[in-house]
A and B are shown apart, each in its own frame.
Chain A
């Protein structure tokens, strides 16, 4: 589906991506996890043809991005990190323009608009101007817009950033639903729970280097299943255990105070990079 080979991107002074290799399978929900400035958005911008890489190749559904960028754009839906809707136009008009840009006929467009607005729960706001919508509504509208032309891959760049927990869960459910309809999803996030909850496979990215690609459970269980946090010099230092009993035994035999919790992706990231995702 998406094949990335030895991708490099260099901005004036920043080596934003270093020899990145990826292979995203069809129908998969692939999460790209990394701290600020890791190169997540840069990767998405290259995959969607918005930015040219310095070297390396990308193919989407068998189309080489270099030679057939117009054809491959038809396959992609993009929800960028910053909101890029036409604020002075209505919800309906924003979707219509997108449909026109992707060469959809009028009947097809209107049918899809109705279906998608239902889908993201915005039917009642069809005629509202975008600037009158809340942040969460705008995010959902961006997702609906990206789905207008029925792309086979959907790129979501931090789709829940700045939203409250309730809205975040709503959007997660929506993303799951989109995947179930057969769309391949490439998602970037720096929310651990988001990757854990949604992803079939997770890639860790740190300052332009791809560290590892695996399923969330594989990544976590290499460390253990339970963790004890203890405070050492004002820093939380986790110790990992394979079972709850082992952890409890450790607590019983040591004097310090601990917090017991399950191992999460943050631990996996921390153990690989020595730093936290957030």
Chain B
């Protein structure tokens, strides 16, 4: 059986194609203005990688903030639901899932079957998500990769007062004027995002093992700050940004079976 999961996030669209329980194709594309169009292109990409025709796909499930924009989808599932299923599939021991993307953060408690037990989300304020680090790296004229790396070299923690990305930019500028090192600024920024994500995760409670997924999990500075803040280690899957799409594709399998 062939199914597909499409995750239409605020910044990027991800597609996973599953054939008999194995991932055979993937696609990723910037969401841009025309989500529907980008989703179509992305799906085509993934189908090509899997070496199949789009018409071979039995069932498509979409997820993500823009999931309703995908006309090809047979059905939809929330990000929280898709994250839970996808994570437990790749990391069966995971009981807590933390998903941090560019515009949102989620804390999810999951059962061994991949069911959502409890969840909390943090969205629509850039200060609590990955784009905060992006804005700050831009303010320091560094790439996001560099910015995340240098955080690890910081030797002290300085608190950021601003709780808003916009005001924080001015604060970063004054920190620079005060000759604070970029390393310390980077750590302050990552600590700030981490403390916001951590407080949300505490609302669902932490149960081992803790999986960290989403694009921001590639940022070592953030992972380090969050780990310190929550006093726990994480398991981070390889294809961390595809977990939502994978979850949707797995749900598509279930739903397809249910239909027969």
Question: A and B, one complex?
Answer: no
Q: Which residues of B are interface residues toward A (Cβ below 8 A)?
A: none
